[in-house]
Amino acid sequence: MDDGGAGDDTMTCGTCGRQATGEGLAEARVRWTFGTEPGRTAWVCDRCSRLHARSIEGKLDSEWW
Ligand SMILES: [Zn+2]
């Protein structure tokens, strides 16, 4: 069988620490956002990316006006 993976079978949300493994992993790969920051990369789960988008919009809003 094709079981020579490099152990990349866990995704961890860099914001809330939530982890996706097993069955949740395939779904997480589709729904989670892969964020890139200088010097590091991190997954952001679907919940956090929504919250994040909201807070970013809110900040932009208050700075904008
Ligand atoms: Zn999260």
What is the 60 CA–ligand 1 centroid distance (Å)?
22
Give me the domain span that covers residue 22.
10-64
Is it the case that residue 4 has pLDDT exceeding 50? no
The pair of three-digit structure tokens given for residue 1, joined into one six-digit string:
């069988």
The top-scoring range by mean pLDDT among 1-10, 28-37, 48-57 is: 28-37
Helix H or strand E segment including 53? helix 46-64
> Is 22 inside a domain boundary?
yes
What is the 53 CA–ligand 1 centroid distance (Å)?
12
The pair of three-digit structure tokens given for residue 22, joined into one six-digit string:
């097993």
- Which amino acid, one-letter code, is at 50? R
What is the 64 CA–ligand 1 centroid distance (Å)?
27
What is the 14 CA–ligand 1 centroid distance (Å)?
7
pLDDT at 36: 74
The number of distinct structural domains making up the chain is 1
Report pLDDT digits (tens) over 36-61.
Answer: 777 777 899 999 988 877 766 676 66
> Is 17 inside a domain boundary?
yes
DSSP state of 14: T
> Is 42 inside a domain boundary?
yes
pLDDT at 1: 55
pLDDT at 21: 94
